[in-house]
Structure 1
Amino acid sequence: MKRTGTRVPPGADEDLARVLDSGSFAEALRAAVAHRRLTLHELQQRLASAGVRVSATTLSYWTRGRTQPERADSLRAVTLLEDILALPGGSLARLLPPPRPRGPGCRVRVTAGYRQLWEPAETLSQLIEEVGAPDQDRLHIVSGHDRLAIDETGARRRMSLSFVLRAQADRVRRLLVFLHEDEGRPLPQVSVARGGRLGRVRWDGGTGVLVAEVLLDRLLARGETAVVECLLEFAADAPRKSLWERRFGQPMKHYLLEVDFDPAAPPVRCYRTTRDSIQQPARDVGEVEIDSAGHGHLVLLDVPNGCHGLRWEWA
């Protein structure tokens, strides 16, 4: 009889129970294979005896998250794997993300809101396509919080990017983070501090466009929320900067930007800036005070599409 329910089989270790509950498909498959002490070759043979041919290389890719089961025969293999590994029915299948777009007719189209914010937009489209189509219509960013550290030379050293997310549909698993660096600059070091783990990162050094995939700690059902924090570490020889702005491809309820300057070398002035698209120059809309600790911040409510941030002037 087919097993049903979500209980972990008796004897399963805590790690397996955890990943079956909130991990990714790759993590759960890897943990289940390790728990049953089976080799990928043995799994391949058992699948073949049931009439499903999957190579050991493909199974390895599945356990490492390099590829995912999508075709009908691969999805049948997932069902058989649940039986072979003595897992509850559907426990692996429910962890599968939506299929990735394939073929010439499935090229990612960047929405108008993002097209106005990234130049060239074709580069962003290509990088997103390499990572996989974003859940732009399935995941809403309710609020954002950026915190940037500037050293005594005026260069960026590190930055945290935080997101409060709400799922607009079921089975939402990924967040794509976009960043634009100066052309020719080295790739900043990207990591995920909480709320998920880093997936694929794609970078075009010629244009400075970066797309990073964050795999959330759990699948989100419609209406559920999550908090994600990403960290950026910039190269030691980074140039002096005088502007930081976040590019909003969709409206956001709340946004907080904090900039921490070296107290011994603060800017002489700081301004709030805005612009509707990347093709326009940033315009000042108000002065921001830098306190004695070198801290300045910006709070926005009901943020519209466009670029919003802070600009500062050095002595």
Structure 2
Amino acid sequence: MEFAGALRQAVQASGLTLERIRHRLGQRGLPVSVATLSYWQRGRSRPRSRAVVAALEEILGVPGGSLTGLLETTEHGAHPVRHGGGSARSGAGRLDRGRAAGDLWPDPERYARVVGQLDRSGDHRLERLSTHDVYRLDAGRRPRKLSVRSVLRAAGDDVDRVVCVHPAGDGRPEAELTGLRYCRPGRVRAEEGLLAFELVFDRVLAAGDTAVVEYELDLGECPGAGPADEYTRRFARPVRDYLAVVQFHEEMFPARCYGFTGQTAQAPRERLGELWIGTSGSAHMVAGDVRFGILGLEWEWD
């Protein structure tokens, strides 16, 4: 049986409403909207978190593994990480562990303090369809600019913004949010190398509606700062398609570049293989069906 049919039968047998199921998941710290639960029952989408599905098994009173086991085909069939050389690695398919978003950051308390000042009420009702990053370095091998484009889809009604979090500062001037397209800035909060902000969509989304946001972070000039040796993206929520491009300055290419994954900020990294640096002076990595965790590129200078 497919997951959608098994979930639908379990819900019917339990006698619980979707609202009641949503409430019980929320009590466990697992926010899922009624619209999302409905989508799962009808096969319009599938859960990305095994932790949520395991909780559903308990709430619905079905045997452990009866629902999570039906996700295996999706997880094993997920698109692997691909990098500039074209070969595949399986690391990105293993990122979902149901952890807290703060685990992705070196200082979880600072992360919680900063994002706690922003409106994240609609975050769990947004599907991340794609995120594309371009990270640019200057001739001094220092970070200069980050350009981001994200495509999102609402899994519920009345969603009007998304919250973004980036490392910023770290011995440099605080990053400046610029270059916004198809959205406008909401609240912006920064603290000791961490920048978090709301991007307000150009319209309020209903379930199924999509939104595109583009922005840039001007990372400022700091002649005394040391050279950068990595770019890292943290995924607190699943993303179907991720692209990271690191653009090196035409006068300063690194000797080697690699992709990597990590489960948390404190966990050991796993290298995915060497990335090709083309004649454009860039390296890139592509990942599909990214779950919770960290992806990035790191490089070595001569």
TM over 0.5: yes
Kept in 2, the 8 Å contact 1:149–1:159? The answer is yes
Unaligned runs of 5+ residues in structure 1 are 1-110
Kept in 2, the 8 Å contact 1:161–1:229? The answer is yes
- 1:233 equivalenced with 2:212 (yes/no): no
The Cα offsets for residues 93-124 of structure 1, whole Å up to 9 and x where unpaired, read as xxxxxxxxxxxxxxxxxx83412212322222
Kept in 2, the 8 Å contact 1:134–1:176? The answer is no
- 1:159 equivalenced with 2:146 (yes/no): yes
Aligned length: 203
**3-state DSSP class of the match of 2:116?**
helix
CA distance in 1: counterparts of 2:230 and 2:246, whole angstroms: 10
The equivalent residue for 2:254 is: 267
Structure 1 residue identity aligned to 2:140: T
The equivalent residue for 1:124 is: 111
* Aligned residue among 202, 207, 229 for 1:217: 202
Kept in 2, the 8 Å contact 1:128–1:134? The answer is no
Kept in 1, the 8 Å contact 2:130–2:239? The answer is yes
Structure 2 residue identity aligned to 1:168: A
Give the Å deviation of 1:192.
Answer: 4.5
In structure 2, do the counterparts of structure 1 residues 217 and 147 end up closer, same or farther at CA, with 3 Å as the change threshold?
A: same
In structure 2, do the counterparts of structure 1 residues 248 and 127 end up closer, same or farther at CA, with 3 Å as the change threshold?
A: same
- 1:250 equivalenced with 2:251 (yes/no): no
Structure 1 residue identity aligned to 2:200: L
Alignment of 1:151-230 (within 5 A): 151-181=138-168, 183-205=170-192, 208-230=193-215
Structure 1 residue identity aligned to 2:135: L
CA-based RMSD: 1.6
The Cα offsets for residues 181-212 of structure 1, whole Å up to 9 and x where unpaired, read as 3544321011252120111110112xx22111
- 1:136 equivalenced with 2:102 (yes/no): no
CA distance in 2: counterparts of 1:273 and 1:189, whole angstroms: 27
Give the Å deviation of 1:134.
Answer: 4.2
**3-state DSSP class of the match of 2:139?**
coil
Larger radius of gyration: 1
The higher relative CO (CA closer than 8 Å, separation ≥ 6) is in 2
4+ runs of 1 displaced by more than 4 Å? none
Give the Å deviation of 1:230.
Answer: 1.2
Structure 2 residue identity aligned to 1:239: G
The share of aligned pairs that are identical, in percent, is 35
Q: Which moved more, 1:262-271 or 1:179-188?
A: 179-188
Kept in 2, the 8 Å contact 1:134–1:174? The answer is no
Give the Å deviation of 1:240.
Answer: 1.3
In structure 2, do the counterparts of structure 1 residues 234 and 167 end up closer, same or farther at CA, with 3 Å as the change threshold?
A: same
CA distance in 1: counterparts of 2:121 and 2:229, whole angstroms: 31
Structure 2 residue identity aligned to 1:294: G
CA distance in 2: counterparts of 1:280 and 1:172, whole angstroms: 34
Kept in 2, the 8 Å contact 1:134–1:175? The answer is no
Unaligned runs of 5+ residues in structure 2 are 1-97
CA distance in 2: counterparts of 1:261 and 1:277, whole angstroms: 27
Structure 1 residue identity aligned to 2:141: G
